[in-house]
């Protein structure tokens, strides 16, 4: 028994040294979550996904940037140049669907197709292409740019949701860790009380003032506290290792950590009107609204091609040798082209439009379901938080009262006016009440995080 007592004492001294270490890194909840938000790899990767999507948007806008286009064809047979054909220029598709082009053509050769004949110094041209039917108000490129911009908004919303989830995970790990530390402290205090009582009873037994059965009962109680300490130590180590998965602050080079908690903290929750407004602005709802806008862009594009495609092209052309005279004659030196394309049954266009309409119904159903789930989650965590606050206040008072009874009973026991059984009973009730308070307080703080998580605003709370 003496060896067991000595081992426990050594363990307690080492823990006390840990608690008093000068290089212990102290975290309160706000500081802990802030370093997760700033430095956690999962959060950084989520931010990078937004950057990737922004690059997709930039790539889509390349459809409207100027493009240099050049082509050269040459054919030689039997020492004869059949033809040389050169056409180089710049083409631009504007965001309103109109295409503008300009360039230079120079063709020659023995067997050149007569329609490719140009002046000796080449041909300079400038032209415009205008869609008069399908493609006038939107087309594939403009729709893609619009959708990619919306996808960037969606990526930002997804980033908010992912960070929101990660902050909840890390916050729950923090409060589990706090619970482990406090239960370990409680088990340390309890085993010191049991150890002191065992020593007192053992001394009384040696001088004949306590029965052997009292010594046995004191030792059994001491063993129970050993088991409690062992259980608390295992839980503390488990939660300590878990919380270190969420510690990424660069200057944190020390391994000793400790939570810093304001036990008088009382949360003020929003009123019902504010909650309804937060539900309306919830990232999940906003994400579904964005999906709806992306889908509607596809619907508008599909319906645009119910119309026939009528593309008009017009070019002004001039001899390369006189281009500096600006003497263009639109009535003579020009090129006009008209293309018409019209599917008869419009099966492809109608199918795509119907798909978009069906997707819109799916999105609407998801949105309706999500609003109900978010509202119920908010109500649940709102009520749970308030109830837990009342519970911890009750258990705090109860543990204080039980501790007062225990202290009084121990004084009476030392004076020989109480029994060991009553003291052990008082101590057990105090430990039970204190343990309940610690666990409920941790649940209370986690419930607050879950409430703000249910509204999707944990990143805003940092």
> What secondary structure does DSSP assign to 438-453, as a single string?
HHHHHHHHHHHHHHHH
pLDDT given at position 148: 96
Name 201's Cβ contacts closer than 8 Å, sequence gap at least 6: 210, 214, 215, 218, 420
CA distances from 93 to 56, 97, 147, 309, 357 (A): 19, 6, 18, 17, 30
pLDDT given at position 334: 81
Residue 115 tokens read as 């329609």
CA distances from 398 to 191, 401, 422, 442 (A): 21, 5, 18, 17
- Using H for helix, E for strand and C for coil, what is the string for 378-394? HHHHHHHHHHHHHHHHH
For residue range 6-38, list pLDDT tens digits in order. 444 444 444 444 444 446 778 899 999 999 999
This prediction's pTM? 0.85
pLDDT given at position 324: 64
For residue range 220-243, list pLDDT tens digits in order. 999 999 999 999 999 999 999 999
Pick from 77, 81, 86: nearest CA to 110: 81
pLDDT values of the chain reduced to their tens digit, one per residue, 462 residues: 444 444 444 444 444 444 444 467 788 999 999 999 999 999 999 999 999 999 999 999 999 999 999 999 999 988 888 899 999 999 999 999 999 999 999 999 888 888 888 888 888 999 999 999 888 899 999 999 999 999 999 999 999 999 999 999 999 999 999 999 999 999 999 999 999 989 988 998 888 888 889 899 999 999 999 999 999 999 999 999 999 999 998 876 556 788 889 888 888 888 888 888 989 999 999 999 999 999 999 999 999 999 998 999 988 888 877 766 656 666 777 888 999 988 888 899 999 999 999 999 999 999 999 999 999 999 999 999 999 999 999 999 999 999 999 999 989 988 888 888 999 999 999 999 999 999 999 999 999 999 999 999 999 988
Pick from 158, 286, 184: nearest CA to 237: 184
pLDDT given at position 229: 95
Query: Collapsing DSSP states into helix, strand and coil, what is residue 51?
Result: helix
Do residues 426 and 406 make contact, with C-beta atoms less than 8 angstroms apart? yes
What is the C-alpha separation between 28 and 176, in angstroms, rounded?
13
Do residues 133 and 309 make contact, with C-beta atoms less than 8 angstroms apart? yes
Residue 455 tokens read as 């509204």
Q: Which residues pair with 77 in a beta bridge?
A: 80
Q: How many CB atoms lie within 10 A of CB 312?
A: 14
Do residues 89 and 102 make contact, with C-beta atoms less than 8 angstroms apart? yes
User: How many whole angstroms from its chain centre is CA 69?
Assistant: 44
Query: Which domains occur in the chain, in start order?
Result: 2-59+143-292+360-461 (1.20.1600.10), 65-134+307-344 (no CATH)
DSSP state of 75: E
What is the C-alpha separation between 270 and 297, in angstroms, rounded?
37
Residue 99 tokens read as 């295409």
Phi, psi of 334 (to 5 degrees): -150, 165
What is the C-alpha separation between 159 and 78, in angstroms, rounded?
67
Q: Please work out, in degrees rounded to the nearest 5, the angle formed at the alpha carbon of residue 455 by the alpha carbons of 449 and 456.
A: 85
């Amino acid at each position: 028994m003496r060896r067991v007592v000595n081992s426990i004492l050594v363990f307690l001294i080492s823990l006390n040294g840990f608690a008093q270490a000068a290089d212990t890194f102290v975290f309160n909840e706000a500081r802990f979550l802030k370093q997760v938000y700033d430095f956690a790899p999962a959060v950084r990767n989520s931010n990078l996904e937004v950057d990737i999507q922004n690059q997709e948007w930039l790539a889509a806008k390349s459809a409207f940037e100027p493009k240099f286009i050049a082509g050269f064809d040459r054919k030689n047979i039997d020492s004869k140049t059949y033809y040389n054909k050169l056409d180089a220029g710049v083409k631009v598709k504007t965001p309103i669907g109109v295409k503008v082009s300009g360039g230079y053509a120079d063709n020659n050769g023995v067997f050149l197709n007569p329609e490719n004949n140009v002046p000796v110094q080449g041909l300079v041209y400038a032209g415009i292409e205008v869609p008069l039917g399908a493609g006038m108000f939107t087309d594939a490129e403009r729709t893609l740019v619009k959708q990619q911009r919306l996808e960037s908004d969606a990526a930002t919303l997804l980033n908010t949701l992912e960070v929101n989830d990660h902050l909840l995970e890390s916050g729950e790990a923090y409060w589990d860790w706090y619970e482990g530390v406090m239960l370990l402290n409680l088990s340390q205090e309890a085993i010191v009380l049991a150890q002191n009582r065992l020593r007192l009873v053992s001394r009384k037994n040696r001088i004949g003032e306590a029965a052997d059965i009292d010594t046995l009962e004191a030792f059994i109680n001491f063993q129970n506290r050993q088991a409690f300490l062992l259980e608390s130590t295992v839980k503390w180590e488990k939660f300590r290792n878990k919380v270190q998965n969420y510690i990424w602050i660069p200057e944190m080079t020390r391994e000793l950590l400790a939570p810093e908690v304001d036990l008088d903290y009382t949360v003020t929750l929003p009123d019902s009107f504010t909650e309804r407004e937060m539900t309306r602005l919830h990232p999940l709802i906003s994400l579904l609204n964005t999906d709806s806008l992306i889908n509607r862009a596809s619907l508008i594009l599909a319906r645009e091609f119910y119309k026939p495609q009528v593309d008009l092209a017009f070019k002004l052309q001039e001899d390369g040798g006189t281009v500096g005279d600006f003497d263009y004659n639109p009535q003579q030196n020009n090129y006009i082209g008209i293309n018409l394309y019209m599917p008869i049954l419009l099966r492809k266009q109608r199918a795509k439009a119907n798909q978009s309409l069906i997707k819109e119904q799916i999105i609407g159903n998801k949105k309706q379901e999500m609003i109900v789930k978010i509202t119920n989650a908010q109500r649940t965590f709102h009520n749970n938080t308030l109830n837990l606050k009342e519970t911890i206040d009750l258990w705090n008072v109860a543990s204080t009262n039980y501790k007062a009874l225990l202290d009084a009973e121990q004084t009476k026991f030392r004076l020989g006016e109480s029994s060991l059984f009553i003291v052990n009973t008082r101590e057990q009730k105090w430990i039970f009440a204190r343990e309940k308070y610690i666990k409920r307080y941790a649940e209370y703080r986690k419930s607050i995080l879950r409430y703000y998580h249910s509204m999707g605003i944990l990143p805003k709370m940092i």
